[in-house]
């Protein structure tokens, strides 16, 4: 691929190494997720096989930082997102019971977000998290989001724990959901309404 910058010369290798390590991490997380859902890990094995990296730079805003957002409220359309808050500048907030809660960055940890596709697959046992990014008045913020998604040709359908369990989401094609997600503006968890069956 001809898009890699030549400077810094370590960039490509570092990004590729990081990406590969995260693929392994996503695989390990999936095994734990399968355990919590009481299903065989093989059932989830193809749910995180593709990865997209987004590197975000949020410049400081000295005049009116409270009037700007770095990222509008949204949930991720992925299965799992693994976030690195590179310089540990606070900005990420999650929505809990209608309130925005700041997430304190930890330099020694990655942050894992549940995406919409995991909410569908788990029939709502895992909930994708609505989040946004605010801007700091004095400090720039840098992050890398790694979105883990299934193959575009695949289908995500809810795994039900028992025969009595009510199916709350319909099965969606991964490509179909991705199209819908990107066609919508970032508006909280609105894209997920598409997959919700009536009654929730």
Ligand X SMILES: O=C(O)CCC(=O)C(=O)O
What is the contact surface with ligand X in residues (CB under 6 A)? 54, 56, 71, 76, 83, 92, 131, 133, 143, 145
Alpha-carbon gap, residue 148 to 135, rounded angstroms: 26
How far does the chain reach from its first CA to its final CA, in angstroms? 45
The answer to whether residue 76 forms part of the interface with Fe ion (CB under 5 A) is yes
- Choose among Fe ion, ligand X, none what residue 19 binds, the Cβ cut-off being 5 to 8 Å by kind: none
Q: Other CB atoms closer than 10 Å to residue 58's CB: what's the count?
A: 20
Closer of 45 and 103 to ligand X (Cβ): 103
Cis peptide preceding 33, ω within 30 of 0: no
Question: Smaller CB distance to Fe ion: residue 44 or 92?
Answer: 92
The stretch among 6-14, 76-84, 99-107, 151-159 that binds Fe ion (CB under 5 A) is 76-84
130 close to 75: Cβ distance less than 8 angstroms: yes
Residue 115: how many CB atoms within 10 A of its CB? 25
Nearer to ligand X, 120 or 133 (CB): 133
Per CB under 5 A, 119 contacts Fe ion:
no
Task: By CB under 5 A, name the binding residues for Fe ion.
Answer: 76
């Amino acid at each position: 691929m001809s898009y890699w910058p030549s400077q810094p010369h370590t960039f490509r290798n570092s990004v590729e190494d990081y990406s590969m390590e995260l693929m392994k991490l996503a695989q390990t997380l999936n095994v734990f997720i399968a355990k919590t859902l009481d299903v065989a890990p093989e059932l989830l094995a193809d749910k995180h096989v593709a990865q997209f990296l987004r590197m975000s730079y949020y410049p400081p805003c000295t005049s009116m930082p409270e009037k700007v957002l770095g990222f509008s409220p949204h949930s991720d359309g992925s299965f799992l997102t693994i976030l690195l808050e590179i310089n540990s500048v606070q900005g990420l907030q999650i929505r809990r019971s209608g309130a925005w809660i700041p997430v304190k960055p930890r330099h020694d940890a990655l942050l894992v977000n549940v995406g919409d596709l995991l909410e569908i697959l788990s029939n709502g046992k895992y909930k994708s998290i609505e989040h946004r990014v605010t801007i700091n008045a004095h400090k720039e913020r840098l992050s890398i989001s790694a979105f883990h998604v299934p193959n575009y040709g695949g289908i995500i359908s809810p795994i039900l724990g028992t025969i009595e369990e009510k199916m709350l989401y319909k099965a969606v094609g991964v490509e179909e959901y991705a199209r819908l997600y990107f066609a919508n503006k970032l508006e909280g968890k609105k894209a997920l309404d598409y997959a919700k069956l009536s009654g929730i």
